[in-house]
Amino acid sequence: MSKSPLAASRHWVIALMSIVFAGCGTSSQPVEGYNPLADFEVLDPASIFATPEPQPSSDYTTEQLTRGRYLVGLLGCGSCHTDGALVGDPNPARLLAGSSTGIAYTSPFRNSNPGIVYPPNLTPDMETGLGSWTMERLITMIRVGTTEHSASSLPVMPWPAYSNITGEDALSIAAYLKSLPPVVHRVPGNVSRGEPAEAPYVHLGVYQRIE
């Protein structure tokens, strides 16, 4: 990454970065002289957005499945929901099957134990994925960020942007996810703020430059 744009902005640096914590949350203070941008790594965008082939289905048309696959790739669902994608090492056997790496939704620089969500398995496995979800529940989750019981999901998933998806497109996405080969993969449970995390996580955020 070039340094020149950073020099122009003397006070604030907006950086999209990934830090993996194992053992998680030993210190609440930023490390003096630590430069988050030094950890910046170039990821392989092609594999992060890869989508699995759906299984032929009698419930949905080929057009719906093709459209759903196209939208899931375009909207980048796999950048969070594919195992390893968040750390630049997507597992091709677990495309869209949930991430063992979580996303901190509070800052690890401020809280020694930030809150963390683990993007769930979107394949239709009955035990570990969306196998038991109705189409309606799936569509509502994508467009409104809630379950049918109105429990709202954390804004880590960009559902406010997806709320503009048309009903037909949301149906195609849900049909595509329902037609994926089921992959057995249980992601770690979400971690509440203040609780220690046992699985790694990344933090995506806005950072103030320490002069």
Q: Is the dihedral of CA 89, 80, 16, 201 positive or negative?
A: negative
Asked whether 20 and 200 are in contact (CB, 8 A), the reply is yes
| Cβ within 8 Å of residue 139, ≥6 positions away | 167, 170, 171, 173, 174
**96 SS3 class:** coil
Select from 28-36, 42-50, 54-62, 69-77 the region that touches ligand HEC (CB under 6 A): 69-77
Please report whether residue 76 would count as binding ligand HEC according to CB under 6 A.
Answer: yes
- Residue 79 or 111: which CB sits closer to ligand HEC? 79
Q: How long a stretch of residues is the chain?
A: 211
User: Which listed range, 3-11, 41-49, 59-67, 150-158, lies at the site for ligand HEC (CB under 6 A)?
Assistant: 150-158
Nearer to ligand HEC by C-beta: 173 or 183?
Answer: 173
Of 48, 87, 104, 117, which lies in the binding site for ligand HEC, with binding defined by CB under 6 A? Answer: 117
Nearer to ligand HEC, 25 or 68 (CB): 68
Q: Does residue 103 touch ligand HEC according to CB under 6 A?
A: yes
Question: Can you name the residues that pair with 203 across neighbouring β-strands?
Answer: 104
| Helical ranges in the chain per DSSP H | 4-8, 45-48, 62-74, 78-81, 135-144, 159-162, 167-178
Applying CB under 6 A, what is the total number of residues that bind ligand HEC? 23
Please report, as ranges, the residues that interact with ligand HEC according to CB under 6 A: 72, 75-77, 79-81, 103, 117, 119-120, 122, 138, 141-142, 153-154, 156-158, 162, 173, 190
